[in-house]
Every structure is written in structure tokens, then in C-alpha cells.
Amino acid sequence: MELFRLLPLFFLSGAFGFSLVTHGKSKVVFVIAEREYQTEKTLPEFAASYLTKDFKIKFCTAPKQGRDRHQLKNPTAINQADLLILSVRRRAFSDQIMQSIRSHIAHGKPILGIRTSSHAFELRNDSAPEGHQDWPEWDQEVIGGNYQGHYGNDKSCLIRQIPTAVQPSFLKQVKLPFRTPASLYRNSPLSINSVPILEGVISGFPSEPVAWTHLTKSGAKVFYTSLGHAKDFENPSFNQLLQNAIRWCLKKP
């Protein structure tokens, strides 16, 4: 009888600012600031479909282009993140925001990057506005990659497991091979601390790594994939790969 008296309190607790159901969920924060791949749409849809049951989700976004593209909304969420998921292209956020990202990594917290996040903070021929920072070494120091542009968009890319890769947790329920309409990024050779998982193959060119793990000097776990085209999110295998990677990032040693 006492159990039934307690049940209303259990279900109503969320209405009063706390929740017995969601206590202890890891906080996953998405940082979205790019203009090419519609991740301001695909990532929230992905999170709603696959993550909200098990994780607390927050989003930080920036305008696609223009003078305000280096201004990030809801940046305080970064300080609360257990995992940062980045879809960012050539931005220079404020000194304070960049310090928050550096602090996240320095404390050994994980990073997951997709597509353009290999060159998230490299402005190329531009310079950071006053009070803002770029991070040209981000790719080598954090992602563990070696982004050097990409092959043309007119080539169909086959995604397959690297024959020497032993990463069963990442590929659980991921059906390989599959194809992507995204251009193949040139990332060879990777950092010595990077462990490749998947590679992309197009006719007439060497294969390139398209998914790998990396460990930063501070011990932060990193998963990166150069996949992330809008059409990739229509592929159950890609969605499963991201889910597996998120759980790997948040798994305690």
C-alpha cells in the first residue's frame, strides 16, 4: 500500500523542478556553426530520435554566415557538458568561449566531431575579430587528423571497415559497406595517436580514413568522422555509428 501512495509523488516530481527519472544523465552539448551541411536541422532531429531518453541535451548555435557568425548562442552550456559534439566550420568564438572548450579538453572530457569540425577553428585567409580566437592547431592537437581539402563532389564514395581495424564496439549493428554522397576528405596521414576505424574509397584515388579515435595529451577521448552530409543522417548505419561513438566517449575507464 505504501508503494501506491508514493507513486504520485514519483511521477509528479518533474513538475516541481526536479526529476527522479532523469537524475544522473550525462549532459551532451552540441555546438553547431557551419553553413554547408544543414546540421542545424539534422543534429537536433538525430538527438530527438536517439538521445533524449538517455542523455540531457543542449545546443549552442551560431549564424551560418555574416558578421555575427563568430557569435555563439547559449555558450554557458559548454561548461556543463560531459560530452561536446561539434559541427563547426572555420569559426573564431570569443576568448571566453574558446577557453571553455580548452578547459573541457584539459579536464579530460570527451569530444566528438563530424565533417567540417576537423577545421572548426582554422580561419584560413581570414583573421579573428578582436576579443575572439582561432585555433589553427585544433586538427592536429585535438582531432588527430590532417585535413588537406577534399576530392571532387562528383565521385561516389564507398565506406568500409579498415581491414586492420579492431573496433567492434563502434561497428555494432553498423551494416558495411555503405555509400555516401559526401566528398571524400583527404586526411592521410593521421596523427600517431589516432586509431582509424573506417575508410572511404573512390575510383582512381588512394583510400582515406573517414572515422577514427584519438587521445589528447590531457587524456581526453576523441571520436571524429568526416561523414555528416545531410543524406548520411538518412542512413541507419551512420546513425548507429554516431550512437555507438557517443556511448564510447562517455564510458568511464
Q: Are strands 221-225 and 111-114 parallel, antiparallel or unpaired?
A: parallel
For residue 156, the domain's CATH number is 3.40.50.880
CB 104 within 8 A of CB 78: yes
When divided into structural domains, the chain yields a total of 1
Specify the pTM.
Answer: 0.88
Give dist(CA 185, CA 208) in Å, integer: 7
Give a yes or no: residue 116 inside a domain. yes
Which range marks the domain in which residue 120 is found? 24-250
Q: Where are the alpha helices (DSSP H) in the chain?
A: 2-12, 39-50, 95-106, 138, 236-250
The stretch 45-60 carries a mean pLDDT of 97
Give a yes or no: residue 66 inside a domain. yes
What local confidence, expressed as pLDDT, does residue 168 receive?
66
Judge whether residue 19 has pLDDT over 80. no
CB 211 within 8 A of CB 196: yes
Phi, psi of 79 (to 5 degrees): -70, -20
C-alpha cell recorded at residue 49: 530520435
Give dist(CA 214, CA 5) in Å, integer: 50
Q: How many CB atoms lie within 10 A of CB 1?
A: 4
Give a yes or no: residue 3 inside a domain. no
Which residues have CB under 8 Å from 17's CB, separation 6+? none
Give a yes or no: residue 144 inside a domain. yes
Higher pLDDT, 5 or 242: 242
User: What is the chain's mean pLDDT, rounded?
Assistant: 88
Give a yes or no: residue 185 inside a domain. yes
Give dist(CA 146, CA 119) in Å, integer: 9
Give a yes or no: residue 15 inside a domain. no
Query: What is the H or E stretch that residue 241 is in?
Result: helix 236-250
- Give the pLDDT confidence of 62-75 residue by residue, as tens digits: 999 888 999 999 99
What SS3 class is residue 147?
Answer: coil
What local confidence, expressed as pLDDT, does residue 153 receive?
67
Q: How many CB atoms lie within 10 A of CB 52?
A: 13
Give a yes or no: residue 206 inside a domain. yes
CB 84 within 8 A of CB 29: yes
Give a yes or no: residue 16 inside a domain. no
- Give the pLDDT confidence of 95-141 residue by residue, as tens digits: 999 999 999 999 999 999 999 999 999 998 888 999 999 999 999 99
Residue 114, beta-bridge partner list: 225
E strand spans, 62-172: 83-88, 111-114, 157-161
What local confidence, expressed as pLDDT, does residue 248 receive?
95
Query: What is the H or E stretch that residue 213 is in?
Result: strand 208-215
What SS3 class is residue 159?
Answer: strand
